[in-house]
Structure 1
């Protein structure tokens, strides 16, 4: 406020919102009065929750491609090969922030659950997960020895009641956890919650000879000494929660002296001590050869590939091709995954690609060559059963892409450029790999008619957009009808089009239905920097009805009167 960066009334608005939410949650009431505190453990992890998890996973599946009706598969195939390190992997079910399900179902398990008892499901990992080579990992106590005459594993920690490592430590102990997080709490008796410091000393032992990357992430300050040399200095000035590393050659079994100094100055407190052995990707030849052998034995191969939550996320210690600190530097799947998919395709046996990710993927070669591709994201505790339901036709997919799948990161402006031009379906003029809103079905739908409750309106009006469509395919299924709007006459730069509503509707095969999508005319507004407010342009707007942002089936026009 004193620096005039924010006004006091803006802080008051934010504070009111925050405190209102906390009051509604009962955070200031006795537990006996709070409904949430009285929920029994028996109400958690129920069969009802399991059914909901399955439903959510089914509805989120996006069928990207299905040439020649490759899917759905028959359940009575003689042999199915399931290939890929993510096929029998729990991480790709759960994403980055999650609870721990009691009975998660992997994709491999889901396929085994689905097929007939006479169908043989054979599995091969195909490659070593690329996460094994690019991730910084918290040091285990077995690789550390305390200083001086202390025995055991870990580091000797000296704890000070000030942030400057001054005076004698309040206490000394051997710490075995190398990622302590105290939050707003004290690390021990006699140490304040804020404004304290710690010095750890001891030795580090490499399990293998080679080059290592070693570092610390601190909230707030940190310094690292290796072989009595300062190698990481994040003290003054310092960056909070940023990994600072160095590299060093180490010999197997040799002890190297280390010292880590840490200081907490304000609010939350914590530090992570991590490392990784720097090495090239493993030779996957034996695993790929096994996968090829299984593919040749099978009627069809289901390859589970993509990326995982261990590669993409928030402030992650990942440094490898395509990934940097949890961010992505290109949109391709990792090179070993590409090699696995292309090698299996070369067998000549039919290949289905199941893609896992929490973001867009540039699977250009795969999209050109693989006949059927199913994007499953990180599908949750019932993910394996949901994937199998879609693959074998017990569920007709209708999920839609909530993001654009570009062909290359080169199609996008620089990451540091915050201008929206060239980004998202609203401002991207290129040819995407798969457009925003895309998603196929095992059925087909004909959009027959669009009608508006009014064709000439004022900015405070509301209308309904009704769409009549017919299921012309052989399967019952959902269709997601999408309403896009384009400002035809605006003098200001406007988006190419903007999604203003959608409706997911179930239609039996051969049947016709009419759905309505409400449209508030105020939703056609844009922010006018000159007026400092949102405004609705008078004039003509084009309403586009379609199955994706690029698959527009019907159009009509709406006139907004000038006030």
Structure 2
């Protein structure tokens, strides 16, 4: 969210809504769905929320997958004359999903690439070249690698397949009626090069627990319109006996100027294991909603099971040694903090 372009300010004079998914019902449904008679597309949701006096224009701009057949469109000029463009792009059930359903997928719903289709990527680049400020609203059910597009856009909102009220929900976030608080349940790699081969069944480089690659967006990452600070991590003991529970507490503060929710995440690393174990793994999380400037103490217990691992014989094992506990708003690593996640707090303890 560069320069806090979101939420859309009341002083904004005009916005430009564009992209191949803006009017799509398919991106609301995804791959598993029921039916109803009130499907609110992204364009409809934004149209219903835009305040009186703020102008809006719309142009699809690009096709979902195929190149457009005209060389020039009105879209760049519409973007240039607007304060910002909301570009609705990404995947739909046409491109990914169940075999037999994804009509535009040569791999029967699988994906041989995790990049945006060229038609969409080229359109975003066209807008960026014309100096348009871009808020990229992405739909999809799996990671999307943005490549150079990441540096061309001013904000990214990943909305998955948001359901019947998706358009209104997205509008609530874009206009600041609610502060986003979602966290990624998986890692978004920068490219397929960061992933192991499909037929490689080792855990090396696989998932946030074993990879040393810097991702596009890390597991557990997600920003808010507010800012959160972590402090005063306290362990009940610095050394415990095997089988004991370790109570901990941490203070989380909403350092922003509006009410918002944060997902406090607890990660544990076994630093002295006798076999290959995760670099770190999520052992718990708690969602907390705080008013502006409010602080709250979060209490958590690290149990023996959380300190254990399955050895090479498949037996759950708890070994003595040193452990690292890291608590923050995302998985350990510098990438999340570079993107604006709060600095975590860290403590070490010993199991005897």
TM-score normalized by the length of structure 2: 0.92
- C-alpha distance in 2 between matches for 1:85 and 1:492: 49
Match of 1:121 among 38, 53, 56: 56
Which residue of the other structure, out of 87, 92, 100, is the alignment partner of 1:308?
92
| Structure 2 unaligned spans of 5+ | 338-342
CA distance in 1, matches of 2:188, 2:25: 25
Confirm or deny that 1:80 pairs with 2:15.
yes
How far apart are residue 319 of structure 1 and its match? 8.4
Match of 2:75 among 277, 288, 291: 291
In the alignment, the residues of structure 1 paired with residue 320 and residue 300 of structure 2 have an alpha-carbon distance, to the nearest angstrom, of 22
Q: Please say if residues 76 and 118 of structure 1, whose CA atoms lie closer than 8 Å, have aligned partners that are also in contact.
A: no
Q: In 2 relative to 1, CA 395–457 (structure 1 residues): closer, same or farther, beyond 3 Å?
A: same
1:402 CA displacement: 0.8
CA contact (8 A) 1:444 1:473 kept: yes
Could you say what secondary structure the match of 1:109 adopts?
Answer: helix
- 1:438 and 2:232 matched: no
> Given that residues 126 and 284 in structure 1 are in contact (C-alpha distance below 8 angstroms), is that contact kept between their aligned partners in structure 2?
no
Contact 2:68 2:119 survives alignment (8 Å): no
Query: Secondary structure of the residue that 2:74 maps to in structure 1?
Result: helix
Provide the residue aligned with 1:384 in structure 2. Answer: 167
Q: Matches of 2:204 and 2:171 in 1, distance apart?
A: 40
Matches within 5 A, 1:27-66: 66=1
| Map of 1:449 onto structure 2 | 232
8 Å contact from structure 1 (residues 128, 284) kept in 2: no
Q: 1:315 to 1:416 in 2, by over 3 A?
A: farther
Aligned to 2:316: 534
Structure 2: distance between partners of 1:384 and 1:503: 28
Aligned to 1:502: 285
Higher share of residues assigned strand:
1
Tell me if the contact between 2:16 and 2:86 (Cα under 8 Å) persists in the aligned partners.
yes
Residues paired across the two proteins, number = 343
Could you say if the C-alpha distance between residues 83 and 293 of structure 1 is closer, same or farther in structure 2, counting changes exceeding 3 Å?
Answer: same
Distance 1:389 1:347 in 2: 28
Give 1:413's aligned residue: 196
Shift of 1:283: 3.1
1:493 matched to which residue of 2?
A: 276
Structure 1 residue 76, shift from structure 2 partner: 5.2
* Separation in 1, partners of 2:236, 2:282: 19
Where in structure 2 are the equivalents of 1:73-222 lying within 5 Å? 73-75=8-10, 77-130=12-65
SS state of the match for residue 529, structure 1? coil
Structure 1 segments unaligned to the other structure (5+ residues) = 1-65, 131-280
* Separation in structure 2 between the aligned mates of residue 282 and residue 336 of structure 1, nearest angstrom: 5
- The Cα shift of 1:459 comes to 4.2
Q: CA deviation at 1:293?
A: 3.2
What is the RMSD of the two structures over their aligned residues, measured on CA atoms?
A: 1.9
Larger Rg: 1
Which SS does the other structure have where 1:327 is aligned? coil
